[in-house]
Amino acid sequence: MFLDEECILKVLLIQPPFNPEYNLPPLALGTLASAVDAAGHEVKILDFNLKFKDGIPIKSAVYKSLKYDADVVGLTCWGNMSPFVIEFCKMFKSIQPETKLVIGGEYATFRSEDILRKSKADFVVRGEGEETFIKLLDTLEHNGKISKLQGITYRKGDKIISLPDNPHFLDMDKLPFINWNLFEDLKKYDGYGKYGQIPIQASRGCPFNCIFCSVQRTWGGIQRRKSPARLIAEIKHLIENFDVMWLGFVDDTFTLNKKWVIKICNLMLKEKIDLRWKVITRIDLVDEDLLSIMKKSGCVEIFYGVESVVPEIQRFIGSKSYAENLVKKNIAKTIAAGIEPVISVIFGWPIDTLKTVKHMARFCEDVVKRGVSRIHMHMLFPLPGTRLVKEYSSAIIPNPYPKVTQPDLAKIPYELYSLLELHREYVPDFWMFKSKYIDPLKLIRIYAETKLSIIEANIHRYSFA
């Protein structure tokens, strides 16, 4: 293997199970698979999250993967996927040591040496994978020197070596269109099969360096955007080839550049693109004009990462500085424009007090009364690679009720959940930050009571609607 210059590598890309309710094809794996395909290698995708809604024993996952007889197996790794990835790689390597195992993804990027040591995998591709992974495949194919690459952590004898970071590539237009045909069971994803929904990425990077967030370290602090013309071409390609009716933009701050968004919307209108779409952004980055044109061109939902409206918490976060009134006004403007606002809030800051927690609880109850039906409530957890973990590692404690405070954990099937419990240290969701000023149990009760009051408000709304 890897000696014949003409050989095409057989690459298997695996999405580990993480949340059986997630119903869209994985964008990151789609992008990577399309880049591998465009580079001339043979690529297969195996999505264990789609295929095994009740969890999957590691042994079955390994044997299913072995059937592909791949030269290189790549696995995505976020926090709650890491126990699966570690166990999978260990077993896979014990059966077929000659296959190269590569781990990528956000979590692997920030704990690359640790995960490589624990998993027995061969490589971790850190940061954006499209260029680095292709360069790694080329190096393996031609028996080149790994040490000349960037963005790779690898094993050399007993040593783990981390090569320098790969700089973020600037031209987003160079990314290939995703070939969704690489997914064998595309229609089995409910989001696509039932509603024709596909995730899409128009930009990467965020200039707001929030203390709890790893986006800036993952994608960089400058927003790199696809040109409106390139994006529209991609959207038309999706409509023509995959009958897409819904687009979910995964960009972290979609409306950062108002002119760019307006150009996209105008082009959508000009090209008579009939689609529904949703975005994620900050609540202080919208106004009436923008919301109006977004609605006209098909936007139906905006996910606002509000996180906190308490001034001292906003100062702590470092880049949130909008008044509660502005938040409420922009929620009202969004609803008035005919777009559904979805709000994300975080409880459990290391500087939280009873007053700040109650303030957030009141805010949630208030916005529900103002017409917001969906509030994503989270408990702050220690995401590797963030400033928060660096500065407040001593305040990290086990979360006594992770299933209720981290909603995704409650959805994970028993088999997988037991695996996560066995490797708690790798799963950020099992941890929280302790504040000196409020008992964690008291905090969680207020959190839970707020959830119940939101549910109560929605019961009234929908039963009288």
Q: Which stretch binds another protein (CB under 8 A): 144-152, 307-315, 342-350, 440-448?
A: 440-448
Rounded least distance, CB 379 to another protein, Å: 12
Select 176 or 407, whichever has its Cβ closest to another protein. 407
Residues forming beta bridges with residue 204, ordered by sequence position? 224
* Helix, strand, coil share of the chain (percent; to 5): 50, 20, 35
Residue from 409, 416, 432, 438 that binds another protein (CB under 8 A)? 409
Asked whether 205 and 222 are in contact (CB, 8 A), the reply is yes
Retrieve residue 165's tokens.
Answer: 């970071």
| One-letter amino acid for residue 442 of the chain | K
Confirm or reject binding of residue 449 to another protein (CB under 8 A): yes
Q: Which of 433, 355, 425, 422 is nearest to 391 (CA)?
A: 433
CA distance 312 to 209: 17
CA distance 291 to 338: 9
Asked whether 103 and 115 are in contact (CB, 8 A), the reply is yes
Residues that contact another protein, how many (by CB under 8 A): 18
Residue from 194, 270, 329, 445 that binds another protein (CB under 8 A)? 445
Rounded least distance, CB 182 to another protein, Å: 35
Residue from 8, 170, 323, 455 that binds another protein (CB under 8 A)? 455
Q: Side by side, which strands form the sheet with 100-104? A: 42-47, 10-15, 72-76, 100-104, 123-125, 152-156, 159-162
CA distance 59 to 65: 10
| One-letter amino acid for residue 303 of the chain | F
Confirm or reject binding of residue 357 to another protein (CB under 8 A): no
Stretch (H or E) spanning 161: strand 159-162
Confirm or reject binding of residue 442 to another protein (CB under 8 A): no
Confirm or reject binding of residue 448 to another protein (CB under 8 A): yes
Q: Which stretch binds another protein (CB under 8 A): 227-235, 375-383, 387-395, 405-413?
A: 405-413
CA distance 131 to 120: 24
DSSP annotation string for 286-317: --HHHHHHHHHTTEEEEEEEEE---HHHHHHH
CA 335 to chain centroid, in Å, comes to 26
Select 387 or 451, whichever has its Cβ closest to another protein. 451
The dihedral region occupied by 265, where left means phi > 0, alpha psi between -120 and 50, and beta the remainder, is alpha
Residue from 21, 171, 288, 456 that binds another protein (CB under 8 A)? 456
Confirm or reject binding of residue 421 to another protein (CB under 8 A): no
Confirm or reject binding of residue 410 to another protein (CB under 8 A): yes
CA distance 313 to 352: 8
Rounded least distance, CB 48 to another protein, Å: 23
Interacting residues with another protein between 361 and 400 (CB under 8 A): 400
Confirm or reject binding of residue 194 to another protein (CB under 8 A): no
Q: Which stretch binds another protein (CB under 8 A): 62-70, 329-337, 361-369, 444-452?
A: 444-452
3-state SS, residue 340: strand
Rounded least distance, CB 190 to another protein, Å: 22
Asked whether 165 and 150 are in contact (CB, 8 A), the reply is yes
CA distance 356 to 324: 13
Select 148 or 369, whichever has its Cβ closest to another protein. 369
Residue from 155, 374, 403, 424 that binds another protein (CB under 8 A)? 403
Select 67 or 411, whichever has its Cβ closest to another protein. 411
Residue written as token pair 């698979």:
33
Binding string, residues 290-329; x marks residues near another protein by CB under 8 A: ----------------------------------------
Select 369 or 460, whichever has its Cβ closest to another protein. 460
Select 246 or 381, whichever has its Cβ closest to another protein. 381
Retrieve residue 276's tokens.
Answer: 């529904």
3-state SS, residue 276: strand
Q: Which stretch binds another protein (CB under 8 A): 95-103, 109-117, 157-165, 447-455?
A: 447-455
Q: Which stretch binds another protein (CB under 8 A): 95-103, 224-232, 262-270, 455-463?
A: 455-463
Confirm or reject binding of residue 404 to another protein (CB under 8 A): yes
Asked whether 170 and 225 are in contact (CB, 8 A), the reply is no
CA distance 453 to 127: 40
Confirm or reject binding of residue 439 to another protein (CB under 8 A): no
Q: Which stretch binds another protein (CB under 8 A): 182-190, 261-269, 303-311, 448-456?
A: 448-456
Residue from 159, 325, 394, 452 that binds another protein (CB under 8 A)? 452
Binding stretches for another protein (CB under 8 A): 400-401, 403-404, 407, 409-410, 444-445, 448-449, 451-453, 455-456, 459-460
